[in-house]
Amino acid sequence: MFDYKRLHPITVLTNFFGELKDLFIPFIFLFFIGSRGGGSAFWLKVKGFILLFLLLAIIVSGVIKWLRFTYRLEDGELRIEYGLLVKKKRYIPFDRIQSLDFTEGVIQRPFGLVKVKIETASGEEAELTAIKKADAFMIQETIKTVKRQLKQKAMQETEPADLEATKETFLLRVSNKDLLLMASTSGGIGVVISAAVAFILQFEDYIPYEKIFNELEGFVRNGVLFIITAIFAAVLLAWFISILITMLKYNQFTIKVLDQDLIITRGLLEKHQTTIPLHRIQAIKMVENPFRQLLGYATVYIHSAGGSALDKEEGKITLLPIFKKANIPDVLGDILPEYLFDLSLQRAPKRAKRRFMMKNMIFSAVITIIFSIFIWPYGLLGAFLFLYSFLIGIARYKAAGWNIQNQQLILQYRQYLKYTIYFQKNRIQSLEERASWFQKRAHLATISATAKSGFLTAEGVVPHLCEKDINTIYQWYRPHKTVSSEHIEHECMSSMDNPPT
d(CA 31, CA 55): 14
306 contact partners, CB below 8 Å, separation of at least 6: 98, 99, 119, 123, 276, 277, 280, 454
Q: How far apart are CA 486 and CA 8, in angstroms?
A: 59
Task: List residues bridging with 317 in a β-sheet.
Answer: 302
CB 316 within 8 A of CB 310: yes
> What's at 367, amino acid-wise?
I
Question: What sign does the CA torsion over 492, 493, 498, 501 have?
Answer: positive
Cα–Cα distance for residue pair 319/332, rounded to 1 Å: 10
Predicted pLDDT of residue 490? 53
Task: Compute CA 443 distance to the chain's CA centroid, rounded to the nearest angstrom.
Answer: 36
Q: Report phi then psi at 112, rounded to 5.
A: 70, 35
Burial of 55 (0-12, 13-18, 19+ CB in 10 A): middle
Q: DSSP state, 165?
A: P
Alpha helix positions (H), 422-491 = 437-441, 467-477
Residue 427 and residue 453 in contact, taking contact as beta carbons nearer than 8 Å? no
CB distance 116 to 100 below 8 Å: yes
pLDDT value of position 410: 94
Domain boundaries in the chain? 5-98+133-165, 181-250, 254-348+400-493, 352-393
Closest to 465 (Cα-Cα) out of 431, 425, 426, 427 = 431
- At 120, which amino acid appears? T
Q: Considering only CA atoms, which of 402, 404, 411, 410 is closest in space to residue 484? A: 404
Q: CA 318, CA 410: separation in Å to the nearest integer?
A: 19
Which pLDDT belongs to residue 501? 39
Q: pLDDT 10s digit of each residue in the chain, 501 long?
A: 457 888 888 888 887 887 777 676 666 666 655 455 455 677 677 777 877 888 888 888 888 888 888 888 888 888 888 887 777 888 888 878 877 888 888 888 888 888 888 887 666 678 888 888 888 888 888 888 887 777 677 665 544 444 444 556 767 788 888 888 887 777 655 555 555 555 555 555 545 555 555 555 555 555 556 667 777 787 788 778 878 888 888 888 888 887 778 888 888 888 888 888 888 888 999 999 888 889 899 999 998 876 444 444 445 788 888 888 988 888 888 788 889 988 899 999 999 998 898 887 888 888 777 877 777 777 777 778 888 888 899 999 999 999 999 899 999 999 989 999 999 998 998 899 998 888 888 899 999 999 876 666 788 999 999 999 999 998 899 876 555 555 555 556 543 454 443
Residue 145 has, within 13 A of its CA and on its CB side, a CA count of 10
pLDDT at 313: 42
Phi-psi category of residue 434: left, alpha or beta, with phi > 0 → left and psi -120 to 50 → alpha: beta
- Order of all β-strands in the sheet with 418-424: 317-324, 297-304, 281-288, 418-424, 408-414, 401-405, 346-347
Say which residues have a Cβ less than 8 Å from residue 167's Cβ, sequence separation at least 6.
Answer: none
Going by C-beta distance under 8 Å and a sequence separation of 6 or more, which residues neighbour residue 280? Answer: 98, 304, 305, 306
Rounded Cα gap, residues 420 and 344, in angstroms: 12
DSSP string, 12-50: HHHHHHHHHHHTHHHHHHHHTTT-TT---HHHHHHHHHH
What are the beta bridge partners of residue 414? 418
The letter for the amino acid at 187 is G
- In this predicted structure, what is the pLDDT of residue 195? 56
Q: How far apart are CA 369 and CA 379, in angstroms?
A: 7
H-helix segments, 202-297: 209-222, 224-250, 290-295
**What order of strands is seen across the sheet that includes strand 254-258?**
125-132, 113-120, 97-104, 271-277, 261-266, 254-258, 168-173
pLDDT for the residue numbered 312 = 46
pLDDT given at position 227: 67
Instruction: Annotate 290-330 with DSSP letters as a single string.
Output: HHHHHHTEEEEEEEES-STTS-TTT--EEEEEEEEGGGHHH
